[in-house]
Amino acid sequence: MPEEPLFARHKSFLLAVFVALVACYLIDYEIYSGQWFLEHFGYGTQEGQIVRKLQWSDRVAQVADVIAFGSSYTRSGLSSAPFLEKGLVPFNFAVSAGGPVYAYYALDKIAPVLARRSTKPVLLMELSLNTLGLDAAEQPGAGWSEYQHVFAVARSRSSIARHFLLLQENFQQYSESSEFLAAALWPSSTYRAYGRVLGSYPPSAFLDFLTRARKDGYFYGYEDTGGFAPLYDTGSPLLDYYFVPLPLERFVPAKVAFLKLFIERALQLGARVVLYSAPSQSGYYMSFERLTEQLESEYPQIQVIRHQDYGLTSQDFDPSGHLNIWGSDHFAAWLIENLRLTGDKQRLDQNIEFAFEKVALPPVASWEFSGTEATPKNSSPYQLVWTPQPGKPTVAISPWIPVTANRQYSLEFSALSRVGNFVVQMEASGPAPAPVSYTMTVADVREHPGEIRYFLAITPNSAQIRIRISYQRPGPEAGSGSIRLEKLYGRR
Amino acid sequence: MALTGSPYVLFLVTVILLAAALQRRMVPGLMLLASLLFYAWGDLTKLPILVFIILSAYFGGIDLGKTDDEEKAGIKGKTRAKRKTRDKGKTRERSRLWLWLAVTFLPLLLFKYYGALGFGKLGWGLLPATLFPPLGISFYTFQATAYLIDVYRRDATPEKSLARVALFLSFFPLVLAGPIERSGHLMPQLRLFEGSWKKESDLVGGCYLILKGLLIKLVFADNFAGFVDRVYASPGTQSPANALMASYLYSAQIYCDFYGYTLIALGSAALFGIRLVNNFEHPYFALSIQQFWQRWHISLTTWLRDYVYFSLGGLRKPVNRYRNTFITMLVCGVWHGAGLQFLLWGALHGLALMLDRLYQNATAGFLPRIRPALRPLGALLTFQFVTLAWVLFRADNLSVAWIMIRKITSAVQAPGVLDQPSWVFYARLGCAFVLFEALDYWIDLQTLFRRCPAPLKAVWIVAIYCALYFAPLKGMKFVYFQF
């Protein structure tokens, strides 16, 4: 007697399951492709910093002379200013905890642009034990698997499917197979990271989430126009590094495979590929010796920087082991010199005009002042000087500045004094309930001589922004506060 | 392979599609192969332990089942010589049972109590300092020993097919954390795979149980674990309010963790037409501690009752019943771990059960009208006691447990502030869990799901999908995997 097929008895239920799966797919599509969480939580998130760079990458890749890939060691360790001084346009494509997987996918995104260029940029690729080493993979929950990066940069199931097995191998190494498979099927499942935050919302805030109202916050640092996010502390980093060549088995095989894919793609595009170890004080590069030897033998065209310390001192680092702003200036200058990079200052303005929208800053004479102590400095139209009473804050507010909505702008300003705290804020005239504003507090920085430059970024949800600066002297010490606005650039 | 992960979902779908497509005679082989593959997924090196237990149960069962044949051969009779021979035979049989039990229990004792028994220190560097027990070793060892004892007691017939014994012990939905099945219940069902399992397959009920299990484990248990783990990581620095909330959330966590797992196991088995025993019957609604143990981890409780409590004997004397209860709960504590806190936890429950029985006996003849009115108080006291006892269960050692208990008891006078991050979320989730559990208690949601029209079933599935967005990104391990 023929056996009854298993599924025939449950036709209506299976249809219900099918309909439910389609509905779940649509919800997933709306949340992931519609960037629901990104629109609400803004660009201060891990996904946000990646998407923000991706949005701009097609444009800047057309004119960039140097493109750097890597983790926060590069993002906060490779300053733009020395490149610009030499007439070079840098694009710091590195993101926090970014490694070879992210780098490969990021390069893949700009590959069509690079392929069209007659002169190819130099591609710098960071080597870091955090993103490549097996030790980091064996620490549960350390976050070096590039899980969020992959789904932030790939943004389609087909991109994931292309390297599915290699990605699966990678995430298996980090005990994240299940999370990866779930996200490969339902990419929006990566947003489960926000479940706790959403669950803590009061009803009104939850309504904001449902209507995608922006809730921006500073988390991963403000970037300058080139994608560099400076750090300002100084301290001896606690280094827990190897200074001996590590055997190849101590590297995550899938990460090495993605590094090779990156190199192959870059060489295919005709770009110059330079591998360098993440900036460190000592012989960190030694850890990668076996790996780089193998890579050099496979790809003779690549260049590997072998250097003891890049000429850096303990003053160049922040306590977490990243370079601070002064160290990143030194490191960038060192790279320019040692890679013999030369730019064209005449072409620079043209390239900058292409990649950036230069916004005219309103002279401080046109600002409103809430206290009498704050005054514009006569010799410089963009400099403010305060001589406030101790403990009494004063505020200066710029007129509204016309900008393009949803484009990222970066304000560069210099703190000239050493006493007191500046609070610099940019706000958009966006619709209620959540006009976008970003704040940066510039604390006492008296231990560093000279001017210190800062960056504050905003992605306004309207066509107008303004700058608000307040100053407070904490104690009765003599001295005045002074700040100078340098430039305001938007990423085209 | 965790039952809540996406690899398991893909595995389950693949197995059911293959089983549906293959010819009947190939299905038992497929199920055994799938079960062994499932077990070996994470760590292939632990598979030999499972195989050892399977072989021990199989040959032990055959050996212990032989006696019937011998009796049939002519040892039956009433003469003195024959009685003597039969007594000798019984003693020999009992010795053989002990031998097979020792062989079956050996890996469990070795792996579970290796550190506590000091093997690591005795090895002069030749033995590893610690041994990590294979997943599920307690569960399949208990299942195997139950089978051996049942065969010895003539409550079960020895299974002649090695493959069936292997599937009985390694069936993938239950191999990692139970329920601890009896051969009399599961073995006949496994024979279905040789026949028409498709007729018995319950796709609707199975899917419902799996979805409910995922919701309970991923959304409730895994989130509660986030709060509880943070508090227990530094109990000394916590406010009494944090400690109190952590203790309540741990009660919810351990229940949701194990119950969620069990539901997925039950649901997975139901897809293949297998009805596993239910391990939980709303234990936190129990009106007494005795009722709690009739509703909590039922397959273990009945195992302990049948193979420890009854085996201790002397049940005609009331005092022995108290003694047996206490000893059984001590065994229950030690089964959970070698730490003193587990022993104390078992002792506390043993004492509570004894007191409960005393109270029941003392009030049996009178207070018939008052007793129903006291039920809510009984439920409340039972829950409070169980929650406080869980502190011992969760704490890494007795000193941590002591700190937590001091904090919890001081919360009445000076609760301090709830200052753990996202505590509002956990509090809301806790309330949601209470509502869900109450709803599930008063309304049979599974029947409701079965009866509702197909479009509503689809809505139900989508609602659970949406709820899963509140599950933490990184799933937590099942608490009971460590046992």
SS3 A251: strand
Asked if residue A476 has pLDDT above 70, the reply is no
**Mean pLDDT for the stretch of residues A141-160:** 88
Asked if residue B72 has pLDDT above 60, the reply is no
Q: Which of A15, A23, A195 is opposite residue B469, by nearest beta carbon?
A: A195
Q: pLDDT-derived band of residue A217, with 50, 70 and 90 as boundaries?
A: low
B136: left (phi over 0), alpha (psi -120 to 50) or beta: left
Mean pLDDT of chain A: 85
Name every residue whose Cβ is closer than 8 Å to that of residue A51 and which is 6 or more positions away in sequence. A35, A38, A43, A152
Q: What is the pLDDT, as a whole number, of residue A336?
A: 93
Q: What is the pLDDT, as a whole number, of residue A238?
A: 54
Q: What is the pLDDT, as a whole number, of residue A433?
A: 47
Best CA proximity match to A486, nearest among A386, A364, A368, A365: A364
Q: What is the pLDDT, as a whole number, of residue A478?
A: 58
Which residue matches tokens 């969020």? Answer: A148
SS3 A214: coil
Asked if residue A5 has pLDDT above 80, the reply is no
Question: Which of B6, B9, B450 has the most A C-beta neighbours within 10 Å, making it the best mutation to test the interface with A?
Answer: B6
Instruction: Report, in this order, helix, strand and coil percent for chain B, each rounded to 5.
Output: 75, 0, 25
Q: pLDDT-derived band of residue A393, with 50, 70 and 90 as boundaries?
A: low
Query: Do β-strands A272-277 and A122-127 pair in parallel, antiparallel, or remain unpaired?
Result: parallel
Query: Do β-strands A122-127 and A66-69 pair in parallel, antiparallel, or remain unpaired?
Result: parallel
Best CA proximity match to B250, nearest among B237, B231, B278: B231
At A29, the amino acid letter reads Y
User: In angstroms, what separates the C-alpha of A442 from chain B's closest C-alpha?
Assistant: 27
Q: What is the pLDDT, as a whole number, of residue A37?
A: 85
User: In angstroms, what separates the C-alpha of A192 from chain B's closest C-alpha?
Assistant: 5
Residue extent(s) of CATH 2.60.120.260 domains in chain A: 360-491
Task: Give the DSSP letter string of A410-477.
Answer: EEEEEE--SSSEEEEEEEE-PPTT---EEEEEE---TTS-S-EEEEEEE--SSSEEEEEEEEE--SS-
State the alpha helices, DSSP H only, in B395-475: 398-410, 423-442, 445-451, 454-467
Structure-token pair, residue B324:
């047996």
- Cβ within 8 Å of B, A 112-171: 141
**End-to-end CA, chain A:** 71
Asked if residue B189 has pLDDT above 80, the reply is yes
Spatial strand order of the sheet with A90-92 comes to A90-92, A66-69, A122-127, A272-277, A303-304
User: Residue B374: what are its φ and ψ, rounded to 5°?
Assistant: -85, -5
User: Residue B293: what are its φ and ψ, rounded to 5°?
Assistant: -75, -15
SS3 A274: strand
Asked if residue A265 has pLDDT above 50, the reply is yes
**B420 in contact with chain A, both atoms CB, cutoff 8 A:** no
Q: pLDDT-derived band of residue A213, with 50, 70 and 90 as boundaries?
A: confident
Q: What is the pLDDT, as a whole number, of residue B483?
A: 65
Dihedral (CA of A36, A40, A45, A51) sign: positive
Q: pLDDT-derived band of residue B269, with 50, 70 and 90 as boundaries?
A: very high
Q: Which of A10, A21, A188 is opposite residue B203, by nearest beta carbon?
A: A10
**A108 burial class (0-12, 13-18, 19+ CB within 10 angstroms)?**
middle
Asked if residue A240 has pLDDT above 60, the reply is no
pLDDT: which is higher, B188 or B418 = B188
Q: pLDDT-derived band of residue A68, with 50, 70 and 90 as boundaries?
A: very high
User: In angstroms, what separates the C-alpha of A481 from chain B's closest C-alpha?
Assistant: 37
Q: Which of B207, B428, B466 is opposite residue A199, by nearest beta carbon?
A: B428
Q: What is the pLDDT, as a whole number, of residue A492?
A: 82
Q: pLDDT-derived band of residue A351, with 50, 70 and 90 as boundaries?
A: confident
Q: What is the pLDDT, as a whole number, of residue B276?
A: 93
Question: Which of A13, A31, A177 has the most B C-beta neighbours within 10 Å, making it the best mutation to test the interface with B?
Answer: A13
Q: pLDDT-derived band of residue A1, with 50, 70 and 90 as boundaries?
A: very low
Q: Which of A3, A181, A192 is opposite residue B469, by nearest beta carbon?
A: A192
User: In angstroms, what separates the C-alpha of A490 from chain B's closest C-alpha?
Assistant: 35
Asked if residue A355 has pLDDT above 80, the reply is yes
**Alpha-carbon dihedral A49, A423, A363, A431, rounded to 10 degrees:** 60
Helix (H) and strand (E) counts for chain A? 18, 17
Which residue matches tokens 């929208």? Answer: A357
What is the assigned CATH class of domain A360-491?
Answer: mainly beta
**Mean pLDDT for the stretch of residues B460-465:** 94
Name every residue whose Cβ is closer than 8 Å to that of residue B138 and which is 6 or more positions away in sequence. B108, B112, B335, B483
Question: What is the rounded distance in angstroms from the CA atom of residue A145 to the CA atom of residue A173?
Answer: 8
Q: pLDDT-derived band of residue A3, with 50, 70 and 90 as boundaries?
A: low
**Mean pLDDT for the stretch of residues A166-193:** 90
Q: What is the pLDDT, as a whole number, of residue B426?
A: 92
Q: What is the pLDDT, as a whole number, of residue B193?
A: 78
pLDDT digits (tens, 9 = 90+) for B347-402: 999 999 999 988 888 777 666 667 777 788 889 999 999 999 999 989 888 899 99
Structure-token pair, residue A191:
């947003």
Sequence-distant contacts of A183-186: CB under 8 A, at least 24 apart: A183/A147, A183/A151, A184/A157, A184/A160, A185/B6, A186/A24, A186/A25, A186/A28
Asked if residue A259 has pLDDT above 90, the reply is yes
Residue extent(s) of CATH 3.40.50.1110 domains in chain A: 25-346
Asked if residue B14 has pLDDT above 50, the reply is yes
Asked if residue B53 has pLDDT above 90, the reply is yes
CB count, 10 Å around CB of B213?
A: 23
pLDDT digits (tens, 9 = 90+) for B298-348: 999 999 999 999 888 777 788 888 898 999 999 999 888 778 889 999 999
Question: Which of A11, A25, A41, A192 has the most B C-beta neighbours within 10 Å, making it the best mutation to test the interface with B?
Answer: A192
Q: pLDDT-derived band of residue B121, with 50, 70 and 90 as boundaries?
A: low
Does this model's pTM top 0.95? My answer is no
Share of chain B above pLDDT 90, in %: 50
Give the CA distances from residue A68 to residues A78, A286, A344, B66, in Å, rounded to whole numbers and listed in that order.
Answer: 8, 21, 19, 76
Query: Are the C-beta atoms of residues A134 and A251 closer than 8 Å to each other?
Result: yes
> What is the CATH topology of the domain spanning A25-346?
Rossmann fold (3.40.50)
pLDDT digits (tens, 9 = 90+) for A282-316: 667 788 999 999 999 999 999 999 877 687 888 88
Best CA proximity match to A471, nearest among A479, A462, A481, A458: A481
**B198 in contact with chain A, both atoms CB, cutoff 8 A:** yes
Best CA proximity match to A428, nearest among A390, A476, A462, A381: A462
Give the CA distances from residue A389 to residues A396, A421, B211, in Å, rounded to whole numbers and listed in that order.
Answer: 16, 13, 64
Query: Are the C-beta atoms of residues B276 and B173 closer than 8 Å to each other?
Result: yes
A441: left (phi over 0), alpha (psi -120 to 50) or beta: beta
Share of chain A above pLDDT 70, in %: 86
Question: What is the rounded distance in angstroms from the CA atom of residue B453 to the CA atom of residue A13?
Answer: 9
Peptide bond into A112 cis (omega under 30): no
Residue ranges covered by each domain of chain B: 6-199, 205-482
Q: pLDDT-derived band of residue B289, with 50, 70 and 90 as boundaries?
A: very high
Peptide bond into A82 cis (omega under 30): no
Q: What is the DSSP letter of A187?
A: G
pLDDT: which is higher, A355 or A445 = A355
**End-to-end CA, chain B:** 16
Closest residue in chain B to residue A21, using alpha carbons only = B462
**Mean pLDDT for the stretch of residues B194-200:** 78
pLDDT digits (tens, 9 = 90+) for A27-53: 999 988 888 888 888 777 888 889 889
Q: pLDDT-derived band of residue B80, with 50, 70 and 90 as boundaries?
A: low
User: Residue B416: what are its φ and ψ, rounded to 5°?
Assistant: 70, -160
Task: Give the DSSP letter string of A330-382.
Answer: HHHHHHHHHTT----HHHHHHHHHHHEEEEPPPPGGGSEESSSS-EE-TT-TT
Question: What is the rounded distance in angstroms from the CA atom of residue B201 to the CA atom of residue B195?
Answer: 12
**Mean pLDDT for the stretch of residues A113-121:** 93
SS3 A302: coil
From the candidates B282, B297, B336, B349, which is the catalytic residue? B336
Least confident of A283-297, B47-61, B166-180, B187-201: B187-201
pLDDT: which is higher, A412 or B80 = A412
Sort out which chain A residues have CB atoms less than 8 A from B198's CB and list them: 3-6
Q: pLDDT-derived band of residue B462, with 50, 70 and 90 as boundaries?
A: very high
B349 classed as catalytic: no
**Alpha-carbon dihedral A146, A150, A153, A159, rounded to 10 degrees:** 150
